[in-house]
Structure 1
Amino acid sequence: MARDYYDVLGVPRTASAEEIQQAFRKLARQHHPDINKDPGAEERFKEINDAYSVLSDPKTRQRYDRFGENFRQIPEDYDERVAAGAGARGGWSAGVGGAGGGGGRGVRFRTADGADFDGSGVDFEDLFGGIFGRGGGAGGSWGPVPGADQEAEIQLSVEEAYRGGKRGITLGGPTGQRTYDVTIPRGVVDGQRIRLAGEGGRGSPDAPPGDLYLRVRIKPDGRFRLEGRDIHVVLPVTPWEAALGATVPVSTPGGTAKVTVPAGSSSGRRLRLRGEGMPNPRGEDGNLYAEVRIMVPPEPTARERELFEELAAASAFDPRRPR
């Protein structure tokens, strides 16, 4: 069973939107795979993202509070269907309790005359099978019932997310594996959903199927670190390039670009390449930030050592002196 999303973020069920956001930011920084090298950090980071994506959206949070971990399998028009079913069954009504319920736990039923009873032990699939397209109500059909929307994950490299394009994916299900041809939008970001219309749960006869949503997970990459649509890379430079200035190549998900290193650059200096980050089809593209890292020859030649010794003798520069 999946962990309760509130437990994942370490907040109470009464937490405000601001408290949820603060908890997410703290945990995301702590468990980001680029920072935390623990073997379980990536899975923990995904779990944190999942919890935040649900609880940060008021409408989705309300559905999660009401239906629990299986809220995505409950049709959006659940209440309307139950109301229609109540008429067919002589005035029964039902309310589903909060997260973590299974079977009939957390459910109470009310008859037309106002009497109610606990639904513990009630077989939902038997009772509501017709609502979800597997049977009929008393004295006839419930009518066409659309299929429920479903969700799965798709993992992409930074380059795949940057460029977009076609990709085939195979997903397993109760009826076996299915392969889909997916169009990846250019510039898709972590947590974004790709909709495959009509590929979700099957509806009742003469009713349309639900949609399948693929939630994007961008795999950690040792070269590129993403912050929203901004991309951060390390830019290795030689001591003389840093001291004298130079134009050097830098790797981006779209290929190689050129960046000018100003004279007198030290390690840690960030150089911005505007618009070279993740593309944004609906707005301004992200930026690419190249962080200067000065590298020295690991095994200098005799001539290199001689030149470094000459520089050491001639230079009065002391990086440890307060300025």
Structure 2
Amino acid sequence: MHYKDYYATLDVPRDASLDQIKKAYRKLARQTHPDMSKATDAEARFKEAAEAYATLKDPEKRAAYDALGHPKAGEEFAPPPQWRHEHAADAASFDDLDLADLLAALGRGHHRGGARGPVATPGHDYENTVQLSLEDAHRGTTLSLDLKEAGGTRTLEVTIPPGTREGQKLRLRGKGGKGRHGGPDGDIYLHITLAPHPVFRADHHDLYFDLALAPWEATLGAEIEVPTLDGPVVLTVPAGTRSGRKLRLRGRGLAQGKAANGDLYALVHIDVAPKPSEAERALYQELSRISHFNPRAPKETP
């Protein structure tokens, strides 16, 4: 069994009052909650803080914990001999318990020889990867999720909120494995991926697509109907638009919950007819005769 320094976890002195412990836990919980923090170790730190608080807020569990002395954090240790004597009913299972489970078991004994129930064990957490279309990520959807458990397969209806993005992790509280002996049910973590789209490419909540323009559209400007996830809209192409320019449509990207939608970007490239007609060739030849434009000339510094 490894020793965990609960006081160090909450950053409080060993003689801290209950109010100090509560205040320290609330501050740490806000900083490390997986829904609030993007740190990779946020979830682990959040659970460590909850474990420490569950022990130190309970007078009996805290007294049992303090009776261990003060080994170094992470150090291997065994409960003192008097613990095994006083809690003989639990002694056989000491070596298989985590520190938190041991304290929970001992905390239920109000007097020597008193009856104690089995250790409360939280249910298993499950992780799954879900692939969404851009349309479903944008508008939200409902999925059927099959979970394989010891008793068979369980089907769960999962609501995916609008604005879900690539790489996001959704937490379904209490939808995991069942807890034992009063322990809390586990959670389900859904890792979101987005399926490739035939038109759009996603970057967080912004979308990009390629827009081909004819030479005269780029030169003279044009009003062009372009696709969005909510249906076609008209894009104004300014006169003199060059290849490689990005034209932005504000708020036409992916939804992002209560915040404003992302933007949609059209990436311009100029295309030409592969087999121009005789009339078209004649017009291009006339244009080449009268035009003084040289695309390879050095660009003037603004």
Q: Which runs of structure 2 are paired with 1:147-296 in the superposition (5 Å)?
A: 147-172=123-148, 176-221=152-197, 223-296=199-272
- Tell me whether 1:108 sits opposite 2:84 in the alignment: no
Q: How far apart are residue 147 of structure 1 and its match?
A: 2.6
- C-alpha separation between the residues in 1 aligned to 2:62 and 2:205? 49
Relative distance call for 1:190 and 1:199 in structure 2 (3 A) is: same
Which of residues 97, 116, 122 in structure 2 aligns to 1:127?
A: 97
**Contact preservation (8 Å) 2:140, 2:161:** yes
Q: Which amino acid aligns with 2:283?
A: L
Relative distance call for 1:206 and 1:318 in structure 2 (3 A) is: same
Q: Identify the structure with bigger relative contact order (alpha carbons < 8 Å, sequence gap 6+).
A: 2
Give the number of equivalent residue pairs.
Answer: 244
Q: How far apart are residue 246 of structure 1 and its match?
A: 0.9
- C-alpha separation between the residues in 2 aligned to 1:282 and 1:86? 43
- C-alpha separation between the residues in 2 aligned to 1:62 and 1:208? 20
Q: Name structure 2 gaps, 5 residues minimum.
A: 1-33, 82-92, 110-114
Relative distance call for 1:222 and 1:284 in structure 2 (3 A) is: same
Relative distance call for 1:276 and 1:228 in structure 2 (3 A) is: same
- C-alpha separation between the residues in 2 aligned to 1:126 and 1:265? 71
- C-alpha separation between the residues in 1 aligned to 2:150 and 2:69? 30
Relative distance call for 1:93 and 1:286 in structure 2 (3 A) is: farther
Give the TM-score of the pair, scaled to structure 2. Answer: 0.64
Q: How far apart are residue 112 of structure 1 and its match?
A: 3.4
Q: How far apart are residue 185 of structure 1 and its match?
A: 1.0
Q: Which amino acid aligns with 1:263?
A: A
SS of the counterpart of 1:108? coil
Q: Which amino acid aligns with 1:295?
A: D
- C-alpha separation between the residues in 1 aligned to 2:190 and 2:230? 24
- C-alpha separation between the residues in 2 aligned to 1:187 and 1:246? 32
Q: How far apart are residue 231 of structure 1 and its match?
A: 1.5
Give the TM-score of the pair, scaled to structure 1. Answer: 0.60
SS of the counterpart of 1:179? strand
Q: Which amino acid aligns with 1:262?
A: P
After superposition, the CA RMSD in angstroms is 4.1
Percentage of matched positions with identical amino acids: 37
- C-alpha separation between the residues in 2 aligned to 1:109 and 1:175? 37
Q: Name structure 1 gaps, 5 residues minimum.
A: 1-52, 67-71, 98-105, 114-122
**Contact preservation (8 Å) 1:230, 1:286:** yes
- C-alpha separation between the residues in 1 aligned to 2:69 and 2:280? 85
Relative distance call for 1:151 and 1:124 in structure 2 (3 A) is: farther
**Contact preservation (8 Å) 1:146, 1:210:** yes
Relative distance call for 1:193 and 1:57 in structure 2 (3 A) is: closer
